Structure 1
């Protein structure tokens, strides 16, 4: 066993000591406030970005590209990982969390613009993103830099995942759907690690969002609306 596993087990000792009595209220059931769909990127600390250390508060899903869909014999549907809390645990909020410099979005961009190929498992994931991002790639200005293109497509991908949730007949109508971008690369105005809200129930106009939610107006920001 390597040192990484030993270090992780040592860290878990501290976790278990701190949380020993904090699972009492969720021993038999869970009713999380929100399901978050994050990218698996190691720089996106899914619970810590919300300051969460409460068992049972967030139902966290992760995959490369923060996708909400999966491909089945019935076509593309909302992934069971995302759908489960919305249908079975009374969760009424879904948050799609993109992040700056996303590797999955980058790989999809390269696939669409230069035919990049990868291992079959990664190509499967890219294949789920590519149809949603293709129109976004086409809409990019010719003079936009590669880095700027990727970060605009990060927003575009979040929008498409929000759309998929809103349009799915499997997602209850009362569920609030929000799209955000987590920035640790100084792309938006703000602090590293800050969440920027870019989409609320399909609305992407920052001015309208600020008017609708004046108490959190400073949290709305977008790089691009194609």
Structure 2
């Protein structure tokens, strides 16, 4: 057996030893307080970023590009893995988690600007991002370098995912939808791994967000106002 997997099993044994007494209240049902939609990236520590060690507290979804949209025969819809906890477990908060240096955003940017292609499975995923990022690519200032362009588009993508949820009839009006960016590149500051709030219920203006949410005003920041 590959040594990497052996090491994973060893760590799982430690996990099971620590958590064996923590599943009593959630063995038959779950009522998570929040559903998070993260990017599938090995650098994004999806539960660790919240310090979460409580089974049943966070319903964690992930895919490349932290997308909330899927295609159905009836057209685009809120992705089932995001909608499930809202529809069936009483979850009333959705957090869309982008991250600096996102590979999916980078690949979408390259596809839009250089017509680069990917294998079909990846291309399908990028196809869900392209319509939402195309206007962002067009709006980028001419003087931004590639890395800055990508990180601006990371915010733009989070905004578009939040917007889709807010406008969807499938998401109850009382649901709070938050957009954040997880930073490990010192883009927003010097605390690697810190989450920065860029959008709440489709409000993107920093001053308005800080006025509305003073308890987190020091965690609200944006790279790009467009």
Is this a same-fold pair by TM over 0.5?
A: yes
Alignment correspondent of 2:147: 147
Moved more, 157-166 or 206-215: 206-215
**2:59 paired with 1:59:** yes
Instruction: Report the equivalent of 1:180.
Output: 180
Aligned to 1:221: 221
Aligned twin of 2:124? 124
CA distance in structure 2 between the aligned counterparts of 1:23 and 1:128, rounded to whole angstroms: 36
Tell me, in whole angstroms, the C-alpha distance in 2 between the residues paired with 1:136 and 1:9.
Answer: 43
TM-score normalised by structure 2 residue count = 0.99
Q: What RMSD, in angstroms, separates the aligned Cα atoms of the two structures?
A: 0.6
Q: Alignment partner of 1:224: what SS?
A: coil
Cα distance in structure 2, aligned partners of 1:17 and 1:119: 41
Deviation at 1:36, TM superposition (A): 0.1
Partner SS state of residue 24, structure 1: coil
Which stretch of structure 1 is more off in the superposition, 187-196 or 77-86?
187-196
Matched residue SS, 1:26: coil
- Contiguous gaps of at least 5 residues in structure 1: none
Using the alignment, how far apart are the partners of 1:166 and 1:208 within structure 2?
18
Structure 2 residue 47 is matched with structure 1 residue 50: no
Q: Does 212-221 or 151-160 show the bigger shift?
A: 212-221
What residue number does 1:114 align with? 114
Which TM-score applies when normalising by structure 1?
0.99
The whole-number CA distance in structure 2 between the counterparts of 1:97 and 1:8 is 26
Equivalent residue number for residue 98 of structure 2: 98
Residue-by-residue CA offset, 1:94-117 (whole Å, 9 max, x unaligned): 000000000000000000000010
Counterpart for residue 165 of structure 2: 165
How far off its partner does 1:215 sit? 1.8
Partners of 1:24 and 1:190 lie apart in 2 by 40
SS in 2 for 1:12: helix
Aligned residue number for residue 76 of structure 2: 76
- Which moved further from structure 2: 88-97 or 166-175? 166-175
Q: What displacement does 1:190 show?
A: 4.0
